[in-house]
Amino acid sequence: MKALIEILTEELPAFPLLKNLDSITSSFKTLLAQNNIDSDFKFYYTPRRLVFFAESFPQASTPKIVQHYGAPVQIAYKDGKLTNAGLAFLKKHNLKEEDVKTTTKDGKEVLFYEEYESPKDTSLILPSLVLEFLRGLNFGKAMRWGDNKESFIRPIRNVLILLDSKTLEFSGYGLKSKSITFTHRQSQVPILEVNSIDEYFKGLENFGVVLDQDKRRASIEKDFKALEARYGITIDLDSSLLDEVVAITEYPRALLGRFEECFLQVPSEVIITSMKTNQRYFPTFKDGRLHNSFVVVSNAFLKDDDYSLIISGNEKVLKARLKDAEFFYLNDLESKLDFGDLSTIGFVSGGGNLQEKCEREKEIVLKLCTLLGLDSKEAATALSFAKNDLLSQVVNEFPELQGVIGAKYARKAGLSEEVCKAIQEQYLPNGLDPALPSSKISALVNIATKIDTLNVLFKLDKIPTGSKDPFALRRNASALLRILEKFELDLKLEDIISDERLLTFIKERYFGILTNINPSVIRSVVSLNQDVASTFKNIYAIDKYLKENSLSTLQSTFKRLANVSSESSDNLEVDESLMVECEKVLFTRLLELENGKFENVDVKVQSFFSLIPLLDRLFESVLINDENKALRINRTKLVERVLRLFLQVADVRLISA
């Protein structure tokens, strides 16, 4: 039989809904499985409903045999009588002593009880499962309504549960279920009586609700293509914005509106941000430039298909927004980068103000340039103006444009392109955009900003714990490593970070970035405290080598290195006259590698690891800790030199499966 569950609500906020889509479906799937109900289902959502539909739903749950294991017999009985451990097992499962059997588990004889769970009529248990499901959902925020004592993200107006043509009674959240659903608010029949699943689907279709979110998305995309073909434009198909629009519409129609060309003097970023953030409009482009038109996705259900009033209404709203944006922008230009006193804006509580932060960042960039032998003039100039736009009117209205609009103003003020680019890219990577700075000057400014932020917050003990990271310090630390890698800056973390806790914290981010690599490989390289770019290169090269060769065959060699080498002497000169053949072969190859030049890190690692068979032969052929002191010292030095060679790329002793 078919099954349908609809939870009708007031309009659901898009972002919490979209964020929790996976948990909604997984929670329902888990709940069915826990109750031995084997059924696939489809999940639909609109702004006012969550819907589960199963084409083939079982009339009864699957019968199940549940096995319960208790304490070992020697603990459960003493002198032929049940101990407290044995009695506890009986009490837990409401058993008599004669009901209990024994079986072997993990090599021990234990108490055992097998329970048969009979099938249950799904029509009897489904309403209570739906109530349990709703109570288990967590959207982060919830509210109460009326006299209802339970809370949900928005008021629940009805819960409809249908098995074919049978309506199941549901009670909870201050309501009793009715055989109804809500159609589109603008339809002739906004509340529809429903007596079967077929009636439900036909009713929604006839009265303005496209239930399937994938069909709503496809409809919008089809409209977009038609508009692009008709007007010769390209629509900025922002996937996140499209997700949001799909979530807030039941009957979507994409419509083209226009605005006056004079507004195009305002930076395109400002116009686009105003459209997307404030109005959920999609910008359009023509010949690679922003066009004076936009696309709005309407949720109106109109009998005559005349959307002219909706288009003109949205055009008026956007015009007002763009007038404000134009006013803010022109006022900012008159300020010529002097928007006010940054000392009036606090950074974080206890961490000073933004003017002080800028001064600290300039000190950091000066140190970076000194270490790298670079001219610090442009980076320091960028940091002198980097945060100024935070006091501008445009950024006050659109905070997400900080840096971007600052770069625009810097160009208007005549600053160099490198400086402007550094101002724009100081916050990268930004949100879901993984882009990194595009020039070395931008990288230095960005690094200085991140180091100061990390330093200050660690001094204030604002250190992330568990999953909580309110200041995004993990993301900052990861970005710092990735920027140092990208520009191959010859900097060790120890050169630029003095706080040991922070140093450890940043190094831990290697593991967060390189999630597909054996952690012991990462640890073996990071422990050497090399510059960041070399650290990444060595990790990649060793990982590549180990994936092409069996780690298990290498591990015994690594362990022998750990046992033999002592690193106790700086004098590792060896006496060839004391060597037997296998030692001489190893030493000859070692000398070649110690004096060798390598095409790249991959070749270097492969060359170093070519010593492994020769080392194995040495370990099998001679006794390193020979009774003869001269032989013992000579062989130990030879192995120590091999280890020192490996330590150019990794401490192989730390590598494990």
Q: Establish whether the linkage from the previous residue to 267 is cis, with ω within 30° of 0.
A: no
Q: Where are the domains of the chain?
A: 3-60+121-206, 65-117, 213-335, 342-513, 537-654
For 544-571, what is each residue's pLDDT tens digit? 999 998 888 788 888 888 887 665 567 8
Please state at what angle helix 21-34 crosses helix 122-136, rounded to 10 degrees.
140
The C-alpha atoms of residue 301 and residue 253 are separated, in whole angstroms, by 9
Average pLDDT, rounded, for the chain = 94
Residue 426 neighbours by CB distance under 10 Å:
24
The C-alpha atoms of residue 269 and residue 272 are separated, in whole angstroms, by 5
DSSP state for residue 433 in the 8-state scheme? B
The C-alpha atoms of residue 476 and residue 484 are separated, in whole angstroms, by 12
For the domain bounded by 342-513, which CATH number is listed? 1.10.3210
List the one residue out of 493, 483, 488, 491 whose CA is nearest residue 513: 483
For 61-114, what is each residue's pLDDT tens digit? 888 887 888 889 889 898 888 899 989 988 888 888 888 888 988 888 988 888
For 356-410, what is each residue's pLDDT tens digit? 999 999 999 999 999 999 999 999 999 999 999 999 999 999 999 999 999 999 9
The C-alpha atoms of residue 396 and residue 329 are separated, in whole angstroms, by 11
For 114-156, what is each residue's pLDDT tens digit? 887 789 999 999 999 999 999 999 998 899 998 888 999 999 9
